[in-house]
Structure 1
Amino acid sequence: MSLKATIMTDMKAAMKSKDQAALRTLRALKSAIMNVETSAGRNDEPLSEDEEMKLLVKQAKQRRDSMQQYIDNGREDLASVEKEELEVIERYLPKALAPEEIEAQVKAIMAEVGASSMKDMGKVMGIASKKMAGQADGKDISAVVKRLLS
Structure 2
Amino acid sequence: MALQEKIDQDIKAAMLAKDNTRLRGLRAIKAAILLAKAEKGPAEALSEDTEVKVLQKLAKQRKESATIYQEQKRDDLYQIEMEELVVIEGFLPKQLSREEVENIVNQLISETGATGPKDMGKVMGLANQKLAGKADGKTISEIAKTLLTGN
TM interval, shorter chain, is over 0.9
Displacement after TM superposition at 1:43 (Å): 4.4
Give the letter aligned to residue 148 of structure 1.
Answer: L
Distance in 2 (alpha carbons) for counterparts of 1:114 and 1:6 = 43
Deviation at 1:57, TM superposition (A): 0.5
- Runs of 4+ that moved beyond 4 A: none
Kept after mapping to 2: 8 A contact 1:11/1:27:
yes
> Within 5 Å, which residues of 2 pair with 1:99-110?
99-110=98-109
Q: Specify every segment of 5 or more residues in structure 2 that has no aligned partner in the other structure, as ranges.
A: none
State TM-score, norm by structure 2.
0.92
CA displacement at 1:62 relative to structure 2: 0.5
Matched, 1:14 2:24: no
Question: Where does residue 53 of structure 2 map in the other structure?
Answer: 54
Q: CA RMSD in A?
A: 1.4
| Per-residue CA distance 1:40-90 (angstroms, 9 max, x = gap) | x53431111111111000000000111111111111011000000000001
Is 2:117 the counterpart of 1:118?
yes
Tell me the secondary structure at the aligned position of residue 46 of structure 1: coil
Separation in structure 2 between the aligned mates of residue 17 and residue 112 of structure 1, nearest angstrom: 51
Partners of 2:66 and 2:93 lie apart in 1 by 21
**Structure 1 unaligned residues grouped into runs of 5+:** none
Q: Quick one: distance in 2 between partners of 1:10 and 1:107?
A: 40
Instruction: Please say if residues 38 and 44 of structure 1, whose CA atoms lie closer than 8 Å, have aligned partners that are also in contact.
Output: no
Identity %: 50
Counterpart of 1:67, as a letter, is A
TM-score norm. by structure 1 comes to 0.92
Corresponding residue pairs, total: 149
Which piece of structure 1 moves more, 109-118 or 84-93? 109-118
AA matched with 1:12? K
